[in-house]
């Protein structure tokens, strides 16, 4: 896989500042202040405690840099690469108090993002050869969407829309308020600019046929059975990108992909990924 371009530091720094402020509280790291002289230096490594796909090393780097601008930081395992247990991901040297105060913020984000990348990698591997693409959703941690979607890219997945303003996605409640699938797509088509995609969610084959009459770019097939997914693919005949959603897990995703859909959206990538175990150790 190609390694995704790293996020610009300016997008990450505000999140780091908030996290450090939460951790440092009103008086800073009083443990380090009590136990360590102010001018002591410390060399450390970030190491994987389990196998996984890495994402988020910039979070560790920027956490340390926020507290010690003179600290060195060297990446040894790039984001988007796989790490075996014990693999050294990065090494740093800096003021000991700063290193220890920054430790938890960096590890929290690095472990979370690497967990997302690792879970995404598992889904992507399961659909290899089918032509289906694994994408994320907006079911992200508030404030961390850019980071979590970056982690999905590190795992080999593709991003769905980033927010409410970059594509039209008509869901069941929009349909209920509007009066029908076809009418909702018709209105969306009339509203959208030439660069805005229109996607509509349907929960049955009857709604699919109604939606296709109005030329949506994408149709989301919500909780369709495998047989209905295959029928939907035959009905659409390439007139719209078909996205399967709902009921997707590591056990079902291969069969869903083999039904012939183009895209499979998986909320679990960002809302249910386990944190990867990564530690920081003095050397």
DSSP-derived 3-state class of residue 97: helix
83, 57 contact by CB (below 8 A): no
In the chain, alpha helices (H) = 9-24, 30-35, 57-67, 96-126, 145-154, 172-178, 181-191, 205-212, 226-236, 253-258, 268-271
135 touches 160 (CB < 8 A): yes
- For residue 231, what are the contacts with CB-CB under 8 A and spacing of at least 6? 205
Residues with catalytic annotation?
104, 139, 171, 201, 222
* Sheet strands side by side (includes 41-48): 72-75, 88-95, 41-48, 278-282
Q: Do the Cβ atoms of 81 and 235 come closer than 8 Å?
A: no
């Amino acid at each position: 896989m190609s390694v995704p371009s790293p996020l610009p530091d300016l997008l990450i720094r505000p999140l780091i500042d908030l996290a450090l402020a939460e951790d440092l509280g009103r008086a800073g790291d009083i443990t380090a202040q009590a136990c360590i002289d102010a001018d002591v230096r410390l060399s450390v490594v970030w190491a994987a405690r389990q196998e996984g796909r890495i994402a988020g090393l910039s979070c560790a780097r920027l956490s340390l840099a926020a507290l010690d601008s003179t600290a060195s930081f060297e990446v040894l395992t790039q984001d988007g690469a796989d790490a075996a247990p014990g693999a050294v991901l990065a090494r740093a040297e800096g003021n000991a108090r700063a290193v220890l105060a920054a430790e938890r913020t960096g590890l929290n984000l690095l472990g979370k993002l690497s967990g997302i990348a690792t879970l995404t990698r598992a889904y992507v591997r399961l659909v290899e050869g089918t032509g289906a693409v694994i994408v994320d959703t907006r079911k992200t941690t508030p404030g961390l969407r850019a980071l979590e979607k970056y982690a999905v890219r590190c795992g080999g997945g593709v991003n769905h829309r980033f927010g409410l303003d970059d594509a039209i996605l008509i869901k069941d409640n929009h349909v209920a308020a509007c009066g029908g699938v076809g009418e909702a797509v018709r209105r969306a088509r009339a509203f959208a600019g030439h660069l805005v995609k229109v996607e509509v969610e349907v929960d049955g084959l009857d709604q699919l046929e109604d939606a296709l009459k109005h030329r949506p770019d994408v149709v989301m097939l919500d909780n369709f059975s495998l047989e209905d997914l295959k029928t939907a693919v035959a009905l659409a005949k390439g007139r719209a990108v078909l996205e399967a959603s709902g009921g997707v897990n590591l056990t079902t995703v291969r069969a869903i992909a083999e039904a012939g859909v183009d895209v499979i959206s998986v909320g679990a990538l960002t809302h249910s990924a386990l944190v990867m175990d990564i530690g920081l150790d003095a050397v």
